[in-house]
Amino acid sequence: MKAIILAAGMGKRLQEVSGGLPKSMIRIGEKSIIHNQIQSCLEVNITSFIIVVGYKRDQLRKHILEVINEDQVIFVENPIFAETNTLYSLYLTCKFWEEDFIYFNADVLFKKELLQKISAKSEHSQLLVETKKCGEEEVKVILNDKGYITEIGKKLDIEKCAGEFIGIGKFCRKTFPSFQKHLEQSVKKGQENNFFEYAVNLLAEDCLLEAVSTEDIPCVEIDFPEDLDKAKELFS
């Protein structure tokens, strides 16, 4: 199993804190965010990586290669990172999809136990969901009575939602043809500046996407300075 990490963005909202570094290079405790992510993967025997780079790509590549070898990683460049979003970055990785993969953005800090919950063998793709009452800006999910995701996105009826998708998932090979089709069609329709959940919502119409509870295992998406403070409190 591989890990696909999307690390092309600038992290504009944290530029004053990062000093102009890619957001994933901000240190939490002794390690940067992306070093923490890679370490968690290695500890659950995920040893191959596809990493999408863009902003200060050479500096980020060098930083990543401090903790893994070149033969463990494929770097994919998003040359228009400033005008696109995670949907386009993930689309660029499609030609390298050969086996089940774990997906996450390079600004999510998590415990390795979350990866263990979805890296175990399962015949379905799985998304990690924090069960809670959600807000308007969170990526929410609606489930059917068997625990599979029927809708995912920000603009859903809060009262119908089971919780928040935390941005970490596993995608199985049998979903690849449908997932690739939706990513390609989304780009053709001008959705390259949308979030990857746009394509996942379409995928939910074709394939079973199992919601897996985080069970309160810590995870923080770091977008704002207050998120960084929370991450340091939880993980330092």
Structure token pair of residue 105: 């953005």
Entry pTM: 0.95
Task: For 14-34, write each residue's pLDDT tens digit.
Answer: 877 778 899 999 999 899 999
Angle, CA of 162, 106 and 215, to the nearest 5°: 30
pLDDT of residue 137: 87
For residue 152, give Cα distances in angstroms to 8, 155, 191. Answer: 23, 9, 16
pLDDT tens profile 85-126:
999 999 999 999 999 999 999 999 999 999 999 977 788 999
| % the chain with pLDDT above 70 | 100
- Taking the CA of residue 14 as centre, how many other CA atoms within 13 Å lie in the half-sphere pointing to its CB? 21
Kindly list the distances between the CA atom of residue 25 and the CA atoms of 28, 31, 106, 123, in Å, as whole numbers in the listed order: 9, 9, 9, 34
The alpha carbon of residue 99 and the mean position of all alpha carbons in its chain are separated, in whole angstroms, by 17
Q: In the predicted model, is pLDDT for residue 217 greater than 90? A: yes
CATH 3.90.550.10, applies to 2-235: yes
Residue 119 has what pLDDT?
78
**Domain residue spans in the chain?**
2-235
pLDDT cut 90: percent of the chain above it: 83
Show Cβ contacts of residue 3 under 8 Å, excluding neighbours closer than 6 positions: 37, 38, 41, 46, 48, 49, 50, 101, 102, 103, 104
E strand spans, 27-72 = 27-28, 31-32, 48-53
Q: What is the pLDDT of residue 18?
A: 75
Quick one: pLDDT at residue 83?
96
Tell me what pLDDT residue 211 has. Answer: 96
Question: Under DSSP, is residue 14 helix (H, G, I), strand (E, B) or coil?
Answer: helix
**Confidence tier at 213 by pLDDT (50, 70, 90):** very high
Neighbours of 229 (CB within 10 A): 13
